[in-house]
């Protein structure tokens, strides 16, 4: 039951709050359209002075360059597992990194600064009109350039001093007026203005020489600047501008599942500037990737050319030895006496040649790997073309070489990542340090693997040499010269094999240098996203209208909450449940008095005839209302008596009306409260009640004396006078909370 009552009370309060808001709106509705108009005007001013921005986005595919096509010869299968791209299977380099790694590269200050310089974005042009500064790009009426040396100087000085150049260019009928300002740190220096009748013009400053010339615009665009205009030009250090663009650039995958796609976006005030920036940023990113790839290919080419020179010299020595041996023995072709032994010997001889080639190339690579200077360099691969082709016994070596490929590929990948990071970070950065330690830890494993591989090949060679010696011994008729020529021929074949492999790799490297491919490809050209435009005019205006309607309501509501005086009937109804019998207006109160009389008689029960007139303060109008009530009751034939119970205003009775009786005031030594509490006054009240239909008791103010509460014991009901603009809400709250006044009813007096 209590819950239902509480719910009813809450519903009443909620409804009452709504009605209170409605009353506030009704009484002060004129402020609402004024507030809405003001807020909309502020919104228009905000939209006028706030630069509009839009997000330009291009979708880029990150291409994995490690995926190369093309077949391999069986002889190069082993070599291609080695590092540095000397075999085409690993020659393509490491694959594309993760989105986060590519983000660090494409949003590096170095890369973005190159874009800023290429597009001349460190010079900003804004057209000033009616207080609004519009960003211009490629349609600026004049072009301001700073000499290249001082552009570089602005960046070089940036760590210690911030330099900036500002120009105000005003065009009128007499020509061009230029007002330069130099900024160093927080200090601004205004230079003397200069006037030029025509352009081009030159201005020399401490921060460099400025050249101002007319921009070659299409006729349609040039017409916009035929009249007068004011142009604000700012030249900022490119690194500083790059940082600002980086802050407005985003590089992220379209979704978490996609790892080879990214959206490149820029928030900008100028659509054309955003499109050019995104396009050039991707171009710079691709150029950097190609430069990195070419560096690796050039390193491989250098290595191959050095080895070619060495092998060429060794081949010359072998040819000379072959020629000298033949001259010494005075022969042209060796005789072969044992066909069967010779065939077997030839088979093992071919295998020994392959093994020898493999060992020679292996030693070249081992020398390179063991050189401390090459610890942080890419390891060359693709030389030992004969490895794995030495016959039945060569299988183990081929397997060992393949096992090494993962270690060397890991080394090259770490070296590539380290070089990438060193371009935008120092050697002391945590990421570079981790890669350095990983390379150092991996190097001993590579050395050990190469050593084991060589031991395996040497064991195979020894086995082949034993077999070869067995069949060579069977050729008893072969002269000494055959053995000498055979050894020399074998060395020649080894050198020739190495030479052919080197020539092939040189051609592959040349083709790789000529092959320029983009690491990032824009599959969707940069375009503006209409939904990203800010500020959104319709939304701003709607918010302004909403605030314009809400603001006065909120202010009025707050004023109402903190307001202590009661002004209206609605305010009185909001703080009490007591009946409000009437509202006495400031002029022509007669009709209101009649309504008060009617409502009073309606609320009085049978036998209730004594009415106390009370109020909080003096001057609330209780005496005037008491007299009018007595007159109004008399006018309808009721016998009414008004007793003036305010004994604090003197002892002499004041007769205003024949039905007005004043209680005799206190004599010397008496107190007013004692009189009101005495038997004589009680007897007087009893006689008045028996002789009249209604008795009206006027009383002193409640905030001064307690006499009204003494009179209340004789009353059947109380008319509490609330003076508009004077009576506090706390007084009504006090009446609500105590029962000192019998059957209280309220009268709002606005008179």
pLDDT: which is higher, 601 or 382: 601
Q: How many CA atoms lie within 13 A of 209 on its CB side?
A: 6
Handedness of CA 370, 373, 378, 380 (dihedral sign): negative
Residues linked to residue 181 through DSSP beta bridges, in sequence order: 166, 190
With 0-12 / 13-18 / 19 or more C-beta atoms within 10 angstroms meaning exposed / middle / buried, residue 78 is buried
Mean pLDDT of the residues in the chain: 80
Q: Is it the case that residue 338 has pLDDT exceeding 50?
A: no
User: From CA 467, how far away is CA 267, in angstroms rounded?
Assistant: 76
Q: Quote the pLDDT of residue 164.
A: 94
Neighbouring residues of 152: CB distance < 8 A, sequence distance ≥ 6 = none
Q: Quote the pLDDT of residue 86.
A: 41
Neighbouring residues of 239: CB distance < 8 A, sequence distance ≥ 6 = 109, 113, 155, 158
- How would you classify residue 607: left for phi > 0, otherwise alpha for psi between -120 and 50, otherwise beta? left
Residues 415-454 pLDDT 10s: 888 888 888 888 888 888 888 888 888 888 888 888 888 8
Least confident of 107-121, 361-375, 559-573, 609-623: 559-573
Q: Quote the pLDDT of residue 81.
A: 41
Neighbouring residues of 140: CB distance < 8 A, sequence distance ≥ 6 = 125, 127, 215, 231
The number of helix segments (H) and strand segments (E) in the chain equals 20, 21
Contact criterion met (CB below 8 Å) for 191 and 206: no
Q: Is it the case that residue 554 has pLDDT exceeding 90?
A: no
Q: Is it the case that residue 309 has pLDDT exceeding 90?
A: no
Going from the C-alpha of 194 to that of each of 116, 180, 330, 413, the distances in angstroms are: 29, 9, 97, 59
Q: Is it the case that residue 476 has pLDDT exceeding 80?
A: no
Give 176's pLDDT tier (boundaries 50, 70, 90): very high
Is domain 569-749 annotated with CATH 3.40.50.300?
yes
Burial 309-325 (b: 16+ CB within 10 A, else e): eebeebbeebeebbeeb
Q: Quote the pLDDT of residue 76.
A: 40
Q: Is it the case that residue 182 has pLDDT exceeding 50?
A: yes
Q: Quote the pLDDT of residue 146.
A: 95
Residue 334: helix, strand or coil by DSSP? Answer: coil
pLDDT: which is higher, 559 or 677: 677
- Cis before 41? omega within 30: no
pLDDT: which is higher, 483 or 498: 498
Q: Is it the case that residue 657 has pLDDT exceeding 50?
A: no
Handedness of CA 152, 156, 162, 163 (dihedral sign): negative
pLDDT: which is higher, 176 or 434: 176
* Torsion of Cα atoms, 213 then 219 then 224 then 226, to 10°: 60
Give 137's pLDDT tier (boundaries 50, 70, 90): very high
Neighbouring residues of 697: CB distance < 8 A, sequence distance ≥ 6 = 610, 611, 612, 613, 643, 645, 711, 714, 715
Q: Is it the case that residue 6 has pLDDT exceeding 50?
A: no
Tabulate helix, strand, coil % of the chain (nearest 5).
55, 20, 30
Going from the C-alpha of 588 to that of each of 44, 583, 584, 720, the distances in angstroms are: 49, 12, 9, 21
Beta strand 208-214 pairing with 142-146: antiparallel
State the pTM of this model: 0.55
Q: Is it the case that residue 659 has pLDDT exceeding 70?
A: no
Q: Minimal CA–CA distance to 438: which of 405, 464, 412, 459?
A: 412
Residue 38: helix, strand or coil by DSSP? Answer: helix
Residue with tokens 């602005």: 154
- How would you classify residue 749: left for phi > 0, otherwise alpha for psi between -120 and 50, otherwise beta? beta
Residues 227-253 pLDDT 10s: 899 999 999 999 999 999 999 999 999
Q: Is it the case that residue 500 has pLDDT exceeding 90?
A: no
DSSP string of 108-174, one letter each residue = -HHHHHHHHHHHTTTEEEEEEETTEEEEESS--SEEEEE-HHHHHHHHHHTTT--EEEEEEEEEETT
Give 3's pLDDT tier (boundaries 50, 70, 90): very low
Residues 56-93 pLDDT 10s: 999 998 886 554 444 333 334 434 444 444 443 333 33
Q: Is it the case that residue 400 has pLDDT exceeding 60?
A: no
Q: Is it the case that residue 315 has pLDDT exceeding 80?
A: no
Least confident of 210-224, 336-350, 358-372: 336-350
Q: Quote the pLDDT of residue 394.
A: 44
Q: Quote the pLDDT of residue 655.
A: 39
Residue 636: helix, strand or coil by DSSP? Answer: coil
**What is the domain partition of the chain in residue ranges?**
2-50+537-562, 74-92+290-522, 123-236, 569-749
Neighbouring residues of 294: CB distance < 8 A, sequence distance ≥ 6 = 513
Radius of gyration in angstroms for the set of CA atoms belonging to the chain, rounded to a whole number: 53
| For range 366-381, the mean pLDDT | 83
Residues linked to residue 184 through DSSP beta bridges, in sequence order: 163, 187
Give me 116's structure tokens: 């800023």
User: From CA 275, how far away is CA 424, in angstroms rounded?
Assistant: 25
DSSP string of 523-542, one letter each residue = EEEEEEEEEEEES-HHHHHH
Give me 308's structure tokens: 């070619």
Give me 115's structure tokens: 């874009």
Contact criterion met (CB below 8 Å) for 632 and 597: yes
| For range 211-216, the mean pLDDT | 94
Least confident of 402-406, 530-534, 726-730: 402-406
Q: Quote the pLDDT of residue 360.
A: 84
Chain centroid to CA 157? 29
């Amino acid at each position: 039951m209590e819950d239902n009552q509480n719910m009813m009370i809450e519903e009443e309060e909620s409804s009452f709050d709504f009605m209170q808001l409605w009353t506030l709106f009704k009484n002060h509705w004129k402020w609402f359209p004024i507030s809405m108009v003001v807020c909309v005007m502020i919104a228009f001013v905000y939209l006028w002075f706030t630069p509009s921005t839009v997000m330009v986005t291009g979708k880029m595919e990150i291409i994995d360059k490690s995926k190369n096509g093309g077949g391999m010869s069986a002889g190069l299968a082993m070599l291609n597992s080695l590092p540095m791209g000397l075999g085409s299977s690993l020659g393509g380099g490491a694959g594309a990194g993760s989105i986060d790694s590519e983000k660090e590269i494409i949003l590096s200050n170095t890369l973005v600064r190159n874009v800023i310089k290429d597009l001349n974005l460190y010079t900003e042009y804004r057209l000033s009109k009616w207080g609004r500064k519009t960003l211009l790009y490629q349609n600026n009426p004049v072009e301001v350039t700073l000499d290249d040396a001082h552009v570089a100087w602005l960046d070089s000085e940036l760590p210690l001093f911030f330099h900036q150049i500002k120009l105000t260019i005003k065009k009128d009928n007499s020509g061009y007026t230029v007002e330069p300002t130099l900024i160093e740190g927080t200090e601004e220096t205004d230079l003397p203005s200069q006037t030029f009748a025509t352009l081009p013009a030159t201005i020399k400053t401490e921060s460099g020489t400025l050249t101002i010339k007319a921009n070659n615009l299409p006729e349609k665009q040039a017409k916009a600047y035929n009249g007068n205009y004011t142009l604000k030009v700012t030249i900022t250090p490119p690194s500083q501008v790059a940082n600002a663009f980086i802050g407005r650039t985003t590089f992220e995958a379209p979704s978490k599942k996609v790892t080879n796609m990214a959206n490149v976006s820029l928030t900008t005030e100028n659509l054309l500037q955003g499109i050019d920036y995104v396009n050039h940023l991707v171009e710079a990113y691709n150029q950097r990737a190609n430069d990195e790839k070419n560096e690796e290919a050039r390193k491989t080419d250098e290595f191959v050319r050095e080895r070619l020179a060495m092998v060429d010299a060794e081949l010359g020595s072998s040819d000379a030895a072959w020629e000298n041996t033949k001259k010494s023995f005075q022969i042209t072709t060796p005789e072969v006496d044992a066909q069967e032994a010779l065939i077997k010997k030839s088979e093992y001889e071919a295998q020994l040649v392959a093994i020898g080639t493999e060992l020679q190339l292996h030693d070249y690579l081992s020398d390179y790997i063991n050189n401390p200077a090459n610890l942080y360099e890419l390891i060359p691969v693709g030389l030992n073309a004969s490895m794995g082709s030495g016959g039945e016994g060569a299988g183990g070596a081929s397997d060992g070489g393949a096992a090494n490929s993962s270690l060397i590929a890991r080394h090259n990948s770490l070296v590539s990542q380290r070089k990438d990071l060193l371009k935008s970070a120092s050697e002391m950065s945590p990421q570079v340090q981790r890669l350095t330690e990983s390379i150092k830890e991996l190097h001993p494993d590579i050395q050990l693997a190469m050593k084991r591989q060589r031991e395996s090949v040497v064991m195979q060679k020894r086995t082949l040499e034993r077999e070869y010696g067995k069949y060579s011994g069977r050729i008893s008729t072969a002269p000494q010269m055959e053995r000498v020529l055979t050894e020399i021929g074998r060395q020649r074949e080894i050198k020739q094999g190495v030479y052919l492999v080197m020539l092939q790799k040189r051609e592959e490297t040349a083709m790789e240098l000529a092959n320029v491919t983009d690491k990032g490809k824009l599959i969707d050209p940069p375009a503006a996203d209409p939904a990203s435009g800010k500020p959104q005019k319709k939304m701003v205006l709607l918010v302004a209208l909403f605030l314009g309607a809400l603001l006065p309501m909120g202010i009025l509501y707050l004023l109402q909450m903190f307001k202590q005086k009661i002004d209206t009937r609605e305010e009185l109804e909001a703080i009490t449940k007591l009946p409000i019998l009437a509202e006495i207006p400031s002029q022509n109160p007669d009709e209101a008095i009649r309504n008060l009389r009617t409502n009073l008689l309606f609320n009085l029960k049978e036998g209730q005839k004594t009415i106390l007139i009370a109020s909080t303060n003096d001057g609330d109008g209780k005496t005037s209302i008491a007299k009018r009530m007595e007159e109004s009751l008399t006018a309808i034939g009721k016998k009414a008596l008004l007793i003036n119970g305010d004994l604090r205003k003197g002892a002499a009775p004041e007769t205003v009306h024949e039905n007005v009786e004043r209680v005799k005031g206190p004599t010397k030594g008496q107190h007013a409260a004692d009189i009101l509490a005495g038997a004589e006054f009680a007897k007087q009240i009893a006689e008045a009640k028996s002789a009249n239909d209604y008795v009206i008791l006027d009383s002193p103010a409640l905030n001064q004396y307690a006499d009204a509460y003494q009179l209340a014991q004789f009353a059947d009901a109380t008319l509490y006078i609330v003076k508009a603009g004077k009576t506090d809400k706390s007084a009504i709250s006090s009446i609500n909370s105590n029962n000192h006044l019998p059957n209280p009813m309220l009268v709002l007096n606005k008179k």
